[in-house]
């Protein structure tokens, strides 16, 4: 955010100059961005199992699933499977089959929270590293899913994966919202880093990592959306500066 303009005024009570700041933007909540896995849907544990198996099978790496949180498939291939075309094709096939069978259930309180935001005319966006094919499965299972959001950004919509903040900055741009008036809800290390780097107000969920592991990576920490409301966001925003 640009530094507010400074104005000088003279008082009638003393021969001194007082300095005041003219605010560049009004405190408000104008947009809320959500990650998908582990934030909107309780799916992260299932992905951890899938990628752990791939890590052991192809790379001899344990706990590979935790390294993949918030990373697009394209960047996974570039970083860990560069030049291994046959393995990339096999993993892609297995992932597509896995995602067609995955169990999707909403994080507690999400549907009520999103309805509250919409009733208060708050713009909402989904920003996920998942691909469009997977999201088509979600739309099939939940026909009204798209109505939750004003925009939906998938891996095909941005060049760089999290922790690069590009995806969140694009979301704010599309919703015409300044970072200081935008909330981002994330759960993964890479996602939280990307959100913080975007200069938005960040809320971390403990659905994937413990409170102790993410407490320094977000402005606020929640377990789920059960206690969230538009009024709480307003309170958080007013306390920021």
Global model pTM greater than 0.85: no
Residue 72 dihedral angles phi and psi, to the nearest 5°: -75, 160
Instruction: Give pLDDT, residue 10.
Output: 33
CB 153 within 8 A of CB 128: yes
**Cβ within 8 Å of residue 85, ≥6 positions away:** none
Q: What is the DSSP pairing of strand 17-22 with strand 5-10?
A: antiparallel
Q: Exposed/middle/buried for 9, CB within 10 Å: 0-12, 13-18, 19+?
A: exposed
Residue 170 sits at the vertex; the CA angle it makes with 105 and 187, to the nearest 5 degrees, is 35
Distance, CA of 203 to CA of 240 (rounded, Å): 13
Residue 28 in tokens:
């408000």
pLDDT for 13: 30
pLDDT means over runs of 10, the chain (241 residues): 33 32 60 97 88 91 82 87 93 89 94 98 96 92 97 94 95 97 96 97 96 97 98 94 69
The predicted pLDDT at position 100 comes to 85
């Amino acid at each position: 955010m640009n530094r507010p303009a400074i104005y000088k005024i003279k008082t009638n009570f003393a021969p001194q100059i007082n300095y005041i700041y003219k605010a560049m933007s009004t405190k408000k909540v104008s947009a809320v961005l959500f990650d998908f896995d582990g934030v909107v849907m309780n799916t992260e544990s299932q992905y951890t199992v899938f990628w752990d198996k791939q890590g052991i099978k192809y790379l001899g790496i344990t706990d590979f699933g935790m390294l993949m949180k918030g990373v697009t498939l394209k960047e996974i291939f570039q970083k860990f499977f560069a030049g291994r075309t046959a393995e990339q094709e096999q993993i892609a096939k297995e992932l597509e089959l896995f995602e067609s069978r995955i169990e999707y259930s909403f994080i507690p309180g999400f549907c009520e929270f999103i309805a509250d935001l919409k009733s208060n005319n708050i713009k909402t966006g989904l920003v996920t590293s998942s691909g469009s094919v997977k999201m088509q499965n979600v739309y099939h299972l939940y026909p009204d899913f798209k109505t939750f959001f004003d925009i939906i950004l998938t891996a095909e919509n941005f060049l760089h994966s999290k922790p690069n903040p590009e995806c969140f900055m694009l979301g704010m741009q599309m919703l015409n919202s300044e970072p200081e008036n935008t909330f981002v809800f994330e759960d993964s290390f890479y996602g939280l880093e990307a959100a913080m780097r975007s200069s938005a107000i960040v809320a971390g969920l403990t659905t994937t990592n413990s409170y102790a592991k993410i407490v320094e990576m977000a402005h606020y920490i929640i377990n789920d959306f059960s206690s969230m409301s538009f009024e709480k966001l307003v309170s958080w925003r007013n306390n920021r500066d």
